[in-house]
Amino acid sequence: MQKQYSLAHSPEFLAQIVQFKADIVINSPGRVNLIGEHTDYNNGFVMPTAIDKTIQFHLKKNGSESSCSISSLNYDTTYNFDLNTTNLKDAEWTHYIIGVVEEIKNLGKTLAGFDCLMLSNLPMGAGISSSAALECGLAMGINELFNLKLTKLEIVKLSQLAEHNYVGTKCGIMDQFASVMSEENHVIKLDCESLEYEMLPFAIEPYKLLLLNTNVSHSLATSEYNTRREECEKGVALLQKWLPQINSLRNVSLEQLKKYKSEFDPTIYGRCEYVVEENLRVTQAATALENNDLNTFGKLMYASHEGLKNKYEVSCKELDFLTEFSKDNESILGCRMMGGGFGGCTINLIHQDAIDTYIESAKKAYFKKFNLNLTAFTAMPSNGGERV
Ligand code: GLA
């Protein structure tokens, strides 16, 4: 019971939750990604895990045929809709809700009216996938509430489709997969082609994962994300002239790519080279983790950032500043931008004794440079979404 209410930030929230009398409560986490950025939609490798920051969903049937309401306690707002007449005219967060409902209906499942209360300690727009937490948590809650018998993988896939078809981001599968499938104290090495995965033990003491949120979210994020995807597809189409057997950058070696470099537009080449190199880095990082070689792991994180900045061009000055700043601190083994880019967080591999002083110095330097506040939090590899 204690766990169920652990996200209630204030007595008012607690009172509303108690009064609501949910049938089902789901905790749905955000995620971090250790390495393997922008590789998922290229059928490559990623290394994410869910974290101990969640959106909590309280759901109950309301006895109606098709009237639903979803309230966010944090944002003090309610969205009312009818299961049979959903539309995309309202605020963007409601598109995720509609997307999940519609994609569940597309699987031939029958729903009825329900009410839902949400509360969250997961920062939005910070690159830690509050969107996947929203989609997957709602899908899990509806699944449990109506006993739909959807598998975890079906929940992952329908949530990804909700984002493609109702939000407009042609995202890969990493975020939803991590939000649903993760296990405490492990990171997932996921093959985004076959969806086979390994749970790698993540025992990094005395190091910790520290996230520094730039608190910027540049408007390019969605449009450039989709553009990167198209650029990679162009690269594959070109390579298919000589390598007709390939269907993604996952199937291309660095040697093959370099051989045809002169045929490429330089921008497209940079995108492809980054992806092929990043896939190699994920495999090297998994080996480093198995060998408890955090120095190598950290260097791979820095190399990932360089690629994202210079070849894939999805970083921004705030993320670059924080990554550079971390290099002066020998308690930090690695740092990189995380997620889609153009804002959000850096992820830092830092000695636990250095965390407090580092946060203070990074905050000061960041404020001095950008006149912006930095927020910081540590993240623990945690279980994927679950009923509490
Ligand atoms: C976003 C997407 C993911 C992935 C990352 C970049 O988080 O939702 O699918 O592509 O960007 O690695």
Name the residue ranges covered by the structural domains of the chain. Answer: 11-201, 207-378
CB atoms inside a 10 Å sphere around CB 351: 18
According to DSSP, the β-strands at 114-120 and 67-72 are parallel
Q: Is 385 in the pocket of ligand 1 (CB under 6 A)?
A: no
CB atoms inside a 10 Å sphere around CB 248: 18
Q: Which of 40, 156, 314 to mutate to test the pocket of ligand 1 (most atoms within 8 A of CB)?
A: 40
pLDDT of 152 reads 98
**Tell me, which fold does domain 11-201 have in CATH?**
Ribosomal Protein S5; domain 2 (3.30.230)
Digit-by-digit pLDDT tens for the chain (388 residues) are 333 344 556 888 889 999 999 999 999 999 999 999 999 999 999 999 999 999 999 999 999 999 999 999 999 999 999 999 988 988 899 999 999 999 999 999 999 999 999 999 998 888 899 999 999 999 999 999 999 999 999 999 999 999 999 999 999 999 999 999 999 999 999 999 999 999 999 999 999 999 999 999 877 777 899 999 999 999 999 999 999 999 999 999 999 999 999 999 999 999 999 999 999 999 999 999 999 999 999 999 999 999 999 999 999 999 999 999 999 999 999 999 999 999 999 999 999 999 999 999 999 999 999 999 999 999 999 999 999 9
Answer yes or no: are the C-beta atoms of 334 and 300 closer than 8 Å: yes
Nearest alpha-carbon partner for 308 in 117, 169, 127 = 127
Q: Is 224 in the pocket of ligand 1 (CB under 6 A)?
A: no
Structure tokens at 62: 């309301």
Q: Is 175 in the pocket of ligand 1 (CB under 6 A)?
A: yes
* pTM listed for this prediction: 0.96
pLDDT of 260 reads 98
φ and ψ at residue 207, rounded to 5 degrees: -90, 160
Q: What is the Cα–Cα distance from 320 to 243, expressed in whole angstroms?
A: 36
In this structure, which residue's CA is closest to atom 8 in ligand 1? 171
Chain mean position to CA 379: 13
Question: Which residue type, as a one-letter code, is found at position 275?
Answer: V
Q: What is the Cα–Cα distance from 65 to 111, expressed in whole angstroms?
A: 8
pLDDT of 4 reads 39
Q: Is 191 a catalytic residue?
A: no
What is the Å distance from ligand 1's center to 39 Cα? 8
Which of these is catalytic: 23, 90, 175, 356?
175
pLDDT of 5 reads 41
| Residue carrying the six token digits 């910070």 | 126
Length of the chain: 388
Q: Is 278 in the pocket of ligand 1 (CB under 6 A)?
A: no
Report the CATH architecture of 207-378: 2-Layer Sandwich (3.30)
Q: Which of 42, 175, 179, 192 to mutate to test the pocket of ligand 1 (most atoms within 8 A of CB)?
A: 175
